[in-house]
Amino acid sequence: MSNEYRLNSLEDDEILKLYELFFGPILMRRETEFYLESLKTFLNKESSIEKVVNKLNSLEIEIIKLLSQLTQVPAIFLNEKLSIIFGEHPSLIGKMIQNLIAKNFIFVHNEKFLFIPELLSVHYKKEGITAVKIDTQERIYDSGKFSDVINVIIYFLSKGLKFSKSGGLYKKDFEQLSTVFCTASGYLRDEYDIIGYFFSTTFMYEEELQMEKLQSFFKLSQLERMLALAEKVFPYLKPILKQVYENKTSYKISKNDLKQLFKILLLASVLNHEPYRADFNSIIDFLTKIGLCKTDGDDVIFIYYEESDVLPMELKITSNFAIYTNSGNTDCDYYLCALFSEFVKYDKITELEINDRSICRAIQNGCTFKQFEDFILQHSVNLGTNVSTTIKEWFSRHNSFFYVEGTIFFAESIEKGKTITRLIESGTIKAFPVKEDAVFLIPDEEKELFFSFMSRSNFTFFEKKPRKKAEVDLQNEDPTEYRTFLTFNND
């Protein structure tokens, strides 16, 4: 059935290619239906398939065996996914995939999905994986389990860290982080990288902090935050967690089965980011630390929790610009502390420090003194006069100048300029007025939208290039001399 379905999904030319793979070159072309039927019959004979498949190298065979278990696989990040499963470099995997495509074992449709004729999956397919409902002692999620993770996120925020392309921490940053966290948290280097991956893929876009996403995440309960992290970093967990939380029950599953399931779910998942590289055991260890699951001999139990209570933030700001707060708080405003300050110490109490640098960073992230004031007011913090005044000054100092890279757009008449102003005011286009109703600055990131709108709306405009200096000089030269020069050349 499965083979039939898969073969029916192939294009005519793909059916011919597949036919040639197993039966050799087609000398006389017949109806596609003939080739299709032949394949349907042939592909059910394992020995025939194996004869052809065995010409591939061992890794290629392993890849095709694995891919065959799925009807279709998202092409995006396939190399990286297989690299995680087989522990080989993605570029090597890439070559293998290209080879399999070239040899017509795999077909690509719309560069998005690979359609895999079911070659060996029948033979290698395991029996169905079962998860057993189980009653666990845990009821309420112990928010303390996740507070280390939240504080590492707070640390990243407060330091304005940049991450590697794969989302990991740079060595220097890890060394600094470990001096703050290692004695107080039980996480290992790879696990800090997991949090780094989550942070960079969730809250950062092109090295810019996505404030709305940050806010949304901190509005979640501690349990929801934990689940959000797990689903983001390990998207293949989603179907399992969906089962657990829809059925409101814990599930037990054997480690071996789970490992198989992880592979299939990893391949099947559609990712927006390169998947996080971690082996199965490391993933289980991390998930156990955050309390999402626990191991029981050869089994893994995914635990169903109910929500825990919100633990409000107790905030103290001293006259030496230090912030003290209870580390385990689950307050939705906790991240705001980090936006205005720098992380200093971590244990049961977190110590942060507001300084010139941290305020500068806050401004770059789009924060204002008003937001800081509101935050202080909201949490009934008594600030020393020196603290509030100095912070206000820092805001004023670092907010004095800013620049935007862009294109200057001129309107030749005030009347035309007013139209542009109205469009800006209505939010239709984005530009800064440089001179009222006359000159506008279009930021680089808005340039495409701006001009496409103008074209669609039948505005006519042209690009006025500044005249080059050489041309200007030529005009200013004495024409007699110019002619002399030409005459000389002609000679």
The answer to whether 118 and 43 have CB atoms below 8 angstroms apart is yes
Q: Which is nearer to other proteins, 241 or 362 (CB)?
A: 362
Pick the closer one to other proteins by CB: 4 or 356. 356
Looking at the Cβ atoms of 125 and 397, the one nearer to other proteins is 397
Shortest gap between Cβ of 294 and other proteins (angstroms)? Answer: 22
Residue 306 has what DSSP assignment? Answer: B
Least spacing, CB of residue 382 vs other proteins, in Å: 9
Contacts of 352 (CB under 8 A, 6+ apart): 158, 322, 323, 325, 337, 338, 341, 342, 343, 344
Q: Least Å distance between CB 326 and other proteins? A: 10
Q: What is the per-residue DSSP string for 130-180?
A: --EEE--S--B--THHHHHHHHHHHHHHHHT----TTSPPPHHHHHHHHHH
Neighbour-count burial for 207-246, b at 16+ CB within 10 Å, e otherwise: eebeeeebeebbeebbbebbbebbebbbbbbeebbeebee
Provide the 10 A C-beta neighbour count for residue 187: 22
Closer by beta carbon to other proteins, 317 or else 438: 317
Integer Cα distance of 4 and 122 in angstroms: 13
Taking the complex as a whole, the smallest distance from the CB of residue 386 to other proteins amounts, in Å, to: 4
Q: How far is the CB of 385 from other proteins (least distance, A)?
A: 5
CB of 149 to other proteins, least distance (A): 19
The residue (of 357 and 418) whose beta carbon lies closer to other proteins is: 357
d(CA 176, CA 74): 38
Q: Is 443 exposed, middle or buried (0-12, 13-18, 19+ CB in 10 A)?
A: middle
Cβ proximity to other proteins, 259 vs 316, nearer residue: 316
Per-residue tokens: 262 = 């992880």
Residue numbers of the site for other proteins (CB under 8 A)?
A: 183, 316-322, 324, 348-349, 356, 384-387, 389-390, 393, 397
Smallest gap from Cβ 286 to other proteins, in A, equals 22
Closer to other proteins by CB, 88 or 373: give it. 373
- Cα–Cα distance for residue pair 41/353, rounded to 1 Å: 72
Give the residues across from 325 on adjacent strands: 315, 350
From residue 213, alpha-carbon distances to 358, 471, 479 in Å are: 21, 53, 66
Shortest spacing between CB 322 and other proteins, in angstroms? 7
Q: Given the complex with other proteins, which of 242 and 397 has the nearer CB atom?
A: 397
Residue 323 Cβ vs other proteins, minimum distance, rounded to whole Å = 10
Closest CB to other proteins among residues 4, 353: 353
What would the two tokens of residue 361 be? 């960073």
Sheet with 406-410, strands from edge to edge, namely 406-410, 439-443, 432-435
Cα(152)–Cα(177) distance, rounded to whole angstroms?
A: 8
Whole-number minimum distance, CB 376 to other proteins, in Å? Answer: 14
Closest to other proteins by CB, 320 vs 484, is: 320
The sheet carrying 349-353 orders its strands as 315-317, 322-326, 349-353, 342-346
Residues 6+ apart with CB under 8 A from 470: none
